[in-house]
Structure 1
Amino acid sequence: MYTDLKNKVAVITGGSKGIGNAIANRFGKEHMSVVINYNSDEAGAQKVAEEVADNGGQATIVKADVSTENGNQELLRAALDKFGDLDVWVNNAGMEIKSPTHELSLEDWNKVISINETGV
């Protein structure tokens, strides 16, 4: 355990599965408070929150679109309202459309760029 992380507050975008899940669980082991962001997998986010608590941390889940300023503001507000602070922000959310770039529609291109780059 890293004692300098104990009682710190983190936001993890895309925290309901995969790498975000692993990061959240590690933060739980560090006794951190975690805001777990999800877009569509509420059940997955809830499961991660329970795992964080089982590991010694605290967690809350927030559905927010990280490709928008409003969505990111919701995550910030959740950290401040629920845990009173924010120390760590993990830009984990991302997506891909498995298609050659020249075959992507502008709409799909913008969706990928807005989540993977603009949201950060």
Structure 2
Amino acid sequence: MSNSVPAASPDTARLPRTAWPKVLEGQPALVTGANSGIGRAVALGLAQAGADVAVNYVVNPESAEEIAHQIEGFGQRAIALKADVSQEDEVEQMFAKAINHFGTLHISVSNAGLQRDAPFDEMTLEQWNTVIGVNLTGQFLCNRAATREFKRRGLVESVSVAMGKIICMSSVHQEIPWAGHANYAASKGGIMQLMQSMAQELAPLRIRVNGIGPGAIRTPINTAAWSTPEAYADLMKLVPYKRIGEPEDIARAVVWLASDASDYVTGTTLFVDGGMTLFPGFATGG
């Protein structure tokens, strides 16, 4: 008799609702790309943990406003802010509005990201620049704005033992090459080095900088990879834990990294991937 656990189906892999402790009270947060997918779950998770949240979006303002109302339903303040994170002036205006609304920020989650896939020799400069602009330059601009605010405000130990917390949303593809996605993989590898360099520089100020590397997560951007039993079974060949990740898996990790429970953690990437970075193809000896 086999002791292995069968892979969950696309319809049964979802997680139970999380009960969130209020570990982030008094710590306003800004989350980019927060009106869908992982960003939405992160914004709601931070709010349930006690943070006020600025919900960034570029398109679909209705979704951003709906999430802001959900956050207010948890008893927290919220504001929806439109900004293209690849544009310096828009990022600066967004942070200024969030800081004016909440008084300050303690947490910044750079989550906004996109794909423009193509075979390498067919990839256009526009496809390359668009992905690098949002995924990598956007993180630089948002993290710089957050750092400036943390330093302006200074340490408030009654609120948090850290001056500020920056979380960079990366991907398993900062480690795993991805043919047909050279721009995306390059952006994620760049995020890793940006995060680590920032963490090294900012640690003496008690500003903590960490990354999260999601694996296969159930979001609208990758519906084709999990929406049918056949696609799901194929996906599970890459996931030793044999279930797809849920956006709430990432939200839980963000809340922990933003809380004082992780105070001695900086400069690291937390992979939330069901073991995808364990190179499952070698499980049987390669």
TM-score range, shorter chain: over 0.9
| Corresponding residue of 1:18 | 37
| Corresponding residue of 2:110 | 91
Aligned-partner Cα distance in 2 for 1:42–1:104? 30
Aligned-partner Cα distance in 2 for 1:38–1:100? 29
Q: Which of the residues 65, 69, 78 maps onto 1:46?
A: 65
Which is higher, the Rg of structure 1 or of structure 2?
2
Unmatched runs of 5 consecutive residues or more in structure 1: none
Which amino acid letter does the alignment assign opposite residue 72 of structure 2? A
Unmatched runs of 5 consecutive residues or more in structure 2: 1-20, 140-286
The structure with higher relative contact order (CA 8 Å, sep 6+) is 1
- Return the offset for 1:101: 3.0
| 1:80-107 deviation line (CA, Å, top 9, x unaligned) | 1100001111000000013223322111
Q: 1:119 is paired with a residue of what secondary structure?
A: helix
Aligned-partner Cα distance in 1 for 2:116–2:30? 25
| Corresponding residue of 1:62 | 81
| Corresponding residue of 1:77 | 96
Aligned-partner Cα distance in 1 for 2:49–2:75? 7
Is the CA contact 1:64–1:71 (under 8 Å) kept in the aligned structure 2? Answer: yes
- Return the offset for 1:15: 0.5
**Cα RMSD, aligned residues only:** 1.2
Q: 2:114 is paired with a residue of what secondary structure?
A: coil
Is the CA contact 2:50–2:76 (under 8 Å) kept in the aligned structure 1? Answer: yes
Which amino acid letter does the alignment assign opposite residue 88 of structure 1? I
Which amino acid letter does the alignment assign opposite residue 10 of structure 1? A
Is the CA contact 2:22–2:48 (under 8 Å) kept in the aligned structure 1? Answer: no
Which amino acid letter does the alignment assign opposite residue 104 of structure 2? D
Aligned-partner Cα distance in 1 for 2:69–2:120? 39
Which amino acid letter does the alignment assign opposite residue 27 of structure 1? L
Aligned-partner Cα distance in 2 for 1:111–1:104? 11
| Corresponding residue of 2:128 | 109
| TM-score, with structure 1 as normaliser | 0.93
- Stretch of structure 1 that moved more, 12-21 or 52-61: 52-61
- Return the offset for 1:61: 0.5
Matched, 1:29 2:48: yes
Which amino acid letter does the alignment assign opposite residue 82 of structure 2? K
Which amino acid letter does the alignment assign opposite residue 137 of structure 2? T
| 1:42-87 deviation line (CA, Å, top 9, x unaligned) | 0110111111111222110011010021122122102211000011
Q: 1:35 is paired with a residue of what secondary structure?
A: strand
Is the CA contact 2:117–2:123 (under 8 Å) kept in the aligned structure 1? Answer: no
| Corresponding residue of 2:211 | none
Is the CA contact 1:35–1:78 (under 8 Å) kept in the aligned structure 2? Answer: no
Aligned-partner Cα distance in 2 for 1:79–1:62? 8
Quote the sequence identity (%): 34
Aligned-partner Cα distance in 2 for 1:110–1:12? 23
Matched, 1:6 2:22: no
